[in-house]
């Protein structure tokens, strides 16, 4: 295993910047997930690490070596593709052996390593089958075995679970994570699935439009988002548009005066997580903010209930409450009070 360092990586296609100056260090044995909306440059970054795309500028270092200009088979990276990319006319064992052949591993050693890799993904005995004789989940495991067979310094996973059905995806998530821990594999995974990212990662990298917005733990991203993009992308939030009038005072576009934590005067958005807002039939005197409103929409999600509350013609927010037998669960049209502490919101200047 090895540490991975990406330094000032850039990829341009003509005038278009797919990746703009991305730097990231992944520690030995760490599982890092690149998360971001479609087209943000995650896959391009991963492919530059694997060697399938040549960077316009910047460096990729694996362990102590600079691998930026090496072809994929000369750098010790194992990659699993979204489509699995198995060769349909080769058997499972031949598919798994592919990377070893490219690296000219002696035949006797090769058979042993193919067996080992198939055992790791619980497919011992499947070596003679063709990919089409396997289920989607099994094909995905063959692709993983192929990546593991070369004993990679770093494992690269490009949306590896997106072709699996929802239930299988949850199982395979756990399998991959356990295997990664057991082998101490330095791993980088790309996904746009937030839940997948949050469950699997040691650390997450949130990207948008070719740049890294924030690197951190699940808690960092959710509790202390670096900017408005991260606040909106990770978890759910309501943004109220308005102005910071003075430190601690915010006025919404709809004219509501709110207590906030800090803020620099000027146009801004106040981010409020739905589960941090309290809702009651009567005023909420103990909180920094207490506002009357009307319930406009209720969405029943089983364990939770989302309540959309109109505060002014221009301001509406979502409150999430746990579905408890003794909990307050208002109806559409009902007058309510919502409240929150100033510290529960976060202000992002424009």
Query: Contact positions toward ligand ATP, by CB under 6 A?
Result: 13, 16, 18, 36, 38-44, 192
- Say which residues have a Cβ less than 8 Å from residue 22's Cβ, sequence separation at least 6: 6, 8, 9, 10, 41, 45, 58, 207, 210, 211, 212
Chain position whose Cβ is nearest to ligand ATP: 43
The CB-of-176 to ligand ATP minimum distance in angstroms stands at: 19
The CB-of-48 to ligand ATP minimum distance in angstroms stands at: 10
Reported as half-sphere exposure (CB side, CA atoms, 13 A), residue 267 has a value of 3
**Cβ distance 48 to 55 under 8 Å?**
yes
What element of type H or E holds 6? strand 4-13
Q: Which is nearer to ligand ATP, 210 or 345 (CB)?
A: 210
Backbone angles phi, psi at 2, to 5 degrees: -155, 165
Q: Which is nearer to ligand ATP, 4 or 18 (CB)?
A: 18
Q: Which is nearer to ligand ATP, 39 or 281 (CB)?
A: 39
Q: Which is nearer to ligand ATP, 38 or 182 (CB)?
A: 38
The CB-of-13 to ligand ATP minimum distance in angstroms stands at: 3
The CB-of-170 to ligand ATP minimum distance in angstroms stands at: 20
Pair of tokens at residue 325: 């037998």
The CB-of-90 to ligand ATP minimum distance in angstroms stands at: 26
The CB-of-198 to ligand ATP minimum distance in angstroms stands at: 17
Distance CA(225)–CA(206), nearest Å, equals 10
Q: Which is nearer to ligand ATP, 44 or 289 (CB)?
A: 44
The CB-of-192 to ligand ATP minimum distance in angstroms stands at: 5
Distance CA(291)–CA(297), nearest Å, equals 17
The CB-of-116 to ligand ATP minimum distance in angstroms stands at: 31
Q: Which is nearer to ligand ATP, 205 or 269 (CB)?
A: 205
Q: Which is nearer to ligand ATP, 50 or 295 (CB)?
A: 50
> How many Cβ atoms are within 10 Å of 50's Cβ, its own excluded?
20
SS3 138: helix
> How many Cβ atoms are within 10 Å of 22's Cβ, its own excluded?
24
Distance CA(165)–CA(209), nearest Å, equals 29
Q: For 143-209, give the DSSP string.
A: HHHHHHHT--SEEEEESTTTTS-HHHHHHHHHHHHHHHHHHT-EEEEEES-HHHHHHH-SEEEEEET
Q: Which is nearer to ligand ATP, 41 or 160 (CB)?
A: 41
Q: Which of 58, 11, 53 is nearest to 158 (CA)?
A: 53
Q: Which is nearer to ligand ATP, 41 or 263 (CB)?
A: 41
257-259 sheet: strands from edge to edge: 257-259, 249-252, 238-246, 266-272, 345-349
The CB-of-46 to ligand ATP minimum distance in angstroms stands at: 8
């Amino acid at each position: 295993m090895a540490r991975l360092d990406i330094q000032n990586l850039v990829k341009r296609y003509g005038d278009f910047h797919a990746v703009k100056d991305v730097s990231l260090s992944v520690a030995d044995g760490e599982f890092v997930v690149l998360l971001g909306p479609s087209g943000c440059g995650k896959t391009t970054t991963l492919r530059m690490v694997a060697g399938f795309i040549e960077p316009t500028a910047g460096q990729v270092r694996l362990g102590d070596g600079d691998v930026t200009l090496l072809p994929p088979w000369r750098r010790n990276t194992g990659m699993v593709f979204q489509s699995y990319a198995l060769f349909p006319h080769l058997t499972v064992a031949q598919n798994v052996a592919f990377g070893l052949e490219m690296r000219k591993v002696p035949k006797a050693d090769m058979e042993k390593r193919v067996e080992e890799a198939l055992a790791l993904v619980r497919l011992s005995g499947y070596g003679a089958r063709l990919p089409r004789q396997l289920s989607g989940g099994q094909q995905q495991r063959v692709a993983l075995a192929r990546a593991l067979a070369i004993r990679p310094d770093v494992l690269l996973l490009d949306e590896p679970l997106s072709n699996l059905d929802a239930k299988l995806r949850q199982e395979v998530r756990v399998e991959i994570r356990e295997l990664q821990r057991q082998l101490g594999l330095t791993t980088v995974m790309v996904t746009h699935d937030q839940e997948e990212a949050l469950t699997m990662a040691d650390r997450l990298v949130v990207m948008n439009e070719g740049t890294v917005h924030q690197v951190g733990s699940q808690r960092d991203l959710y509790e202390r988002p670096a900017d408005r993009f991260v606040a909106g992308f990770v978890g759910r939030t309501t943004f109220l548009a308005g102005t910071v009038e003075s430190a601690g005072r915010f006025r919404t576009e709809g004219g509501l005066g709110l207590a906030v934590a800090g803020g620099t005067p000027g146009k801004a958005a106040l981010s409020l997580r739905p589960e941090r807002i309290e809702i009651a039939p009567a005023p909420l005197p103990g909180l920094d903010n207490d506002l009357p409103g009307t319930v406009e929409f209720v969405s029943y999600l089983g364990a939770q209930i989302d309540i959309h509350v109109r505060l002014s013609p221009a301001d509406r927010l979502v409150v999430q409450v746990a579905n408890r037998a003794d909990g307050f669960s208002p109806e559409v049209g009902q007058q309510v009070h919502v409240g929150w502490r100033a510290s529960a919101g976060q202000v992002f200047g424009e």
